[in-house]
Structure 1
Amino acid sequence: MLKILFILTGLNYAGAENQVVQLCRGFRSRGHQALVVSMVEPEAYLEELGELGVEVRSLGMAKGVPDPRGILRLRQIIKEFGPDVVHSHLVHANILARITRLFVKMPVLICTAHNVNEGGKLREWLYRMTDPLCELTTNVSEEAVRQYVERKVVPRHKIKFMPNGITLGSFGQGRDKEWLADELGIAADSFVWLAVGRLVPEKDYPNLFAAFTAVLKQYPGSVLLVAGTGPERPALEKQCRELGIEDQVKLLGLRKDIPALMRFADAYVMSSQWEGFPMVLLEASASGLPMVVTDVGGNREAVLDGVSGLLVPPEDSQQLSDRMLEMMSLSTVELAAMGEQARKHVSERFDMEVIVTQWTRIYELKGISPGV
């Protein structure tokens, strides 16, 4: 049995956090033990992790405030738990774990980045300076790995591409619209676009709303659903009113029924300015949704252009609207075929069982063998 300690900046409804929860599920199903440590107070997934028998501990740190006491608290948790491997995720947790290793024994430390850019030159400098304190850095897209090496954030021989994975059984296919159509007030024959993600600048929802305004000129009955919360909501509501699309764009806030929304939608759309490797694209693929997404980060690794979806340049509402219109012009059979290709692609490359096996091999290659 392996004892794995995961460290995260926080626990909320976002891609990296979702991935750690899925890893916990996969490792627990194989008889391994996991502990999750959140630097700040956790806000999500507590019930799900509790059902898996995974304890969650908080370091009690405040967002944006360096606190050296976090090192002492993490040191104590590591001494108590005695992990075989410490696996940190996201830049703050990665740096904290590396520094903490100066004060406590860790048999293996693996650090996972989840984006092409994790916040500028200072953070990249900290990665360089603390690199000797970990065995391996991984990133979630091949493009991110390439850029990290190119910018000398991590030496080539100490970084590895490890994609996110998904539990396929959690996302089914089917387009039964009736029950959600009633709740959301959407006509059963409407073409429904879905976007899922925090309402933050990097997701570039203003670009999406501008594109959707053009789409409505040809398909006035279409609807855009946006699931997520964030600080940009007031500005986005204002933009919808100014564009006159407030009746066709539905800001749903936080939703815990994303699989159902994906079964309900006809297509998925993403307008991000940058990404790492979005979990949500794997979820949309597993749901059999054709996609129109910006060609940033690892998106082209998740979406096969012209096969399972369409790629567009970022920050270009004209091309985004053109590709959305192109997809809407496809027949039902053509849309279904594109969605089937999406599901096939994700099942072949990103099934969580495969990903857990790959992580286990990585842990073992760093000197750990189950049962030892």
Structure 2
Amino acid sequence: MTAERGLTRAAAHASALALGVVTRATGMLPPRLRYGYVYPLTRALLHQPLPAVQALGAGLKAEPATTPAPAGDLTCVLGVSALDIGGIGSVVELLAAGLPARGVTPAVVCLGDGMRAQRLREMGVQVRTVVDRASALSAFAELGPDVIQLHDAPSFVVAAARDSGVPLVSVLHNTEIHYSRTRWRRFSELLEHSVAAVAVSELVRSFHVGHVAVALRSRITVIPNAAHGSGLLAPQQRRDARELVERAVGGRFGDDVVFVCLARYDAQKNIAGTVASFLACVASGVPAQLVIAGDPSDWVEFRRADAIRRGSRDADRVHLLATSDGQTLIAAADAFLLNSYFEGWPVAATEAWAAGLPLILSDVGGARELVGRDPQRSVLVSNATGNASDVTDARVERSRWSAKRQQNSAELSEAIQRVVDTVHRERDVPVAPRDASAGVAATLDEHARLLRDTAAINTPDEAAQPGRFSGDQRGGTVRI
């Protein structure tokens, strides 16, 4: 049996090495080829069914109760890509749910339908799905907005928004390390046509400021993301959530400290490196397990992470799931871990913070702010590529190639041990969820104020005129 297990681990090591070579090769391709051709091909070749955790039931939802949206005196269309993928959809839903109370009637233009679109409709929010520039322009004309806010929207939605002649606000959700010179030129053109832009963290703002003309920099202000907490859960609800996750992973957690990571399997999230570093930590006897759940947008990344897992003697301490119910996973977890290469402001980490979990975050957009909210229990670790402000596509690919030897691995192991000790101290008296309502209200207030100021300006050129916005509205940071 021991020899058989050794052969199994050896085969997994070989698989991880081969997939690392594939990762290295695809990383040398331009992003448009990676995302447009390689990822769809590898999805077709490597796809496999994955277990997932469904919602436990009532009491775990982070979203506010759905109520009909009252009519406001200002209409804003939120333009976005797919609503059900990533944190951007959560931000759009938060805005759509909260802006009506501030006199702004929201509507959404997006790609495809889904659960989030249905929830928005149940709240009374108009949702239009579009497929091309013509359908997007028709949707804008039908909805008749006073202002359009773009959230990483597809290029044809951006083009239709510009064609509409409606004042624009662009929301910057990430440090776009994949952008080519052509993409940065397009972004600069969009910023020129936007009355204002919102960066979701100071790091995102500084990153974009470095790629645009000086005259445009003052249009970018910072409004941090926010998220509702799930509220106080009964001990039985937490036990039920933990048992549900145990069934999904096919194992038992016992007294181990359970870390959860809600992230896609792709180059940005550094899943293979996270798995390798976590396994190196628990190999020394640290009583912890890791549950990762997300969409395998890059199946090579998923398969490589799984091969690294299977090649370890502690393979049963890391569990890889498909996209799952985030609130159930957070309710089942003792701590939250995200070791990304780059982020704008991680919404899942914000939800975990609101639930009272200690965080381990790599140095990415929003990480310093979130860890700073709970510095005694949460830990910021270095970015696996080096300086967080200097992350590039090339540095990410070099770090991915060295997934088992990343430069922040030892620091991450120390952070895991520290958080495990914290959780053990708190087992008898767990930390209650935090009241995130003030932060949510501040985020919504600032978005509503910016939308009103934008709608009052007829042309983007007026945004550059002195006195159109006060100093704390343009080029500043909103503290939440």
TM over 0.5: yes
Tell me the equivalent position of 2:92.
20
Matches of 2:178 and 2:129, distance apart in 1: 23
Query: 1:160: Cα distance to partner?
Result: 0.8
Per the normalisation by structure 1, the TM-score is 0.85
Structure 1 residues 220 and 307, CA, compared in 2 at 3 Å: closer, same or farther?
Answer: closer
Tell me the equivalent position of 2:339.
271
Tell me the equivalent position of 1:119.
178
Query: 1:339: Cα distance to partner?
Result: 5.6
Greater relative CO, 1 or 2 (CA 8 Å, sep 6+): 2
Larger radius of gyration: 2
Query: 1:239: Cα distance to partner?
Result: 1.8
Tell me the equivalent position of 2:139.
77
Residue identity (%): 24
Q: Which runs of structure 2 are paired with 1:185-224 in the superposition (5 Å)?
A: 185-219=251-285, 221-224=287-290
Per the normalisation by structure 2, the TM-score is 0.67
Matches of 1:80 and 1:236, distance apart in 2: 46
Determine whether 1:319 maps to 2:319: no
Residue 309 of structure 2: SS of its match in structure 1?
A: helix
Determine whether 1:167 maps to 2:233: no
Structure 1 residues 46 and 223, CA, compared in 2 at 3 Å: closer, same or farther?
Answer: same
Matches of 2:165 and 2:284, distance apart in 1: 63
Query: 1:89: Cα distance to partner?
Result: 0.4
Residue 355 of structure 1: SS of its match in structure 2?
A: helix
Tell me the equivalent position of 2:200.
140
Residue 311 of structure 2: SS of its match in structure 1?
A: helix
Matches of 2:162 and 2:171, distance apart in 1: 19
What amino acid maps onto 2:415 in structure 1? Answer: R
Query: 1:312: Cα distance to partner?
Result: 0.7
Structure 1 residues 50 and 355, CA, compared in 2 at 3 Å: closer, same or farther?
Answer: same
Matches of 1:367 and 1:54, distance apart in 2: 20
Please give the per-residue CA displacement for 1:8-59, whole angstroms capped at 9, x wherever unaligned: 1222231111110111111244564322111x32344123112212232222
Matches of 1:320 and 1:335, distance apart in 2: 22
Residue 289 of structure 1: SS of its match in structure 2?
A: coil
What amino acid maps onto 2:304 in structure 1? Answer: A
Determine whether 1:356 maps to 2:417: no
Conserved 8 A contact 2:345-2:365: yes
Residue 82 of structure 2: SS of its match in structure 1?
A: coil
Residue 186 of structure 1: SS of its match in structure 2?
A: coil
Structure 1 residues 359 and 237, CA, compared in 2 at 3 Å: closer, same or farther?
Answer: same
Query: 1:266: Cα distance to partner?
Result: 1.1
Please give the per-residue CA displacement for 1:222-263, whole angstroms capped at 9, x wherever unaligned: 21111212133222222211123331112221212x223212
Query: 1:97: Cα distance to partner?
Result: 4.8
What amino acid maps onto 1:134 in structure 2? Answer: S
Matches of 2:235 and 2:290, distance apart in 1: 16
Matches of 2:429 and 2:380, distance apart in 1: 17
Matches of 1:293 and 1:8, distance apart in 2: 27
Conserved 8 A contact 1:22-1:166: yes
| Bigger mean CA offset, 282-291 vs 322-331 | 322-331
CA-atom RMSD in angstroms: 2.7
Conserved 8 A contact 1:99-1:130: no
Matches of 2:302 and 2:319, distance apart in 1: 12
Unaligned runs of 5+ in 1: 61-69
What amino acid maps onto 1:311 in structure 2? Answer: L
Matches of 2:429 and 2:272, distance apart in 1: 30
What amino acid maps onto 2:82 in structure 1? Answer: G
What amino acid maps onto 2:207 in structure 1? Answer: Q
Tell me the equivalent position of 2:311.
242
Structure 1 residues 272 and 331, CA, compared in 2 at 3 Å: closer, same or farther?
Answer: closer
Please give the per-residue CA displacement for 1:96-120, whole angstroms capped at 9, x wherever unaligned: 45533453231x2111010122631
Conserved 8 A contact 2:279-2:309: no
Q: Which runs of structure 2 are paired with 1:318-337 in the superposition (5 Å)?
A: 318-330=410-422, 332-333=424-425
